[in-house]
Amino acid sequence: MGYQEQFGFQLNNKYCAGCHDPESTPQRVSNYENLEVKPHPFTEGDAFNKMSDDDLIAIISHGGPALKRSGLMPPYGYTLSKNEIEALVSYVRLVSDPPYAPGTVYTRK
């Protein structure tokens, strides 16, 4: 894991994992089960690989409604810097399964 991905991992733990990770740990309680619309865990490459980096940046910056997704996804554009958002995108790309392959065209279902 490079610096960008490690930084994204730290940001994920602080801002994202409470909703996007259904597993609770002694350090963090997951809110996943309480959400009406279940967010995709970042490991779900089938969901995230279909989104461009620009789409991921938009949804992180402006919230779910930016891409006609759940309004439960809050905007982080005033909380996180551009570099921090890009680090989160790098982290999502790293942990996606199947792995993200830049330049591959993924079909939308």
pLDDT tens-digit profile of 30-40? 889 899 999 99
pTM of the model: 0.88
Residue-wise pLDDT for 12-63, tens only, equals 999 999 999 988 888 888 889 899 999 999 999 999 999 999 999 999 999 9
How much is the pLDDT for 101?
84
As a whole number of angstroms, the distance between CA 37 and CA 12 comes to 19
Task: List the end-to-end C-alpha distance of the chain, in Å, as a whole number.
Answer: 31
As a whole number of angstroms, the distance between CA 48 and CA 98 comes to 10
Residue-wise pLDDT for 72-97, tens only, equals 999 999 999 999 999 999 999 999 99
Domains of the chain, start order: 3-95 (1.10.760.10)
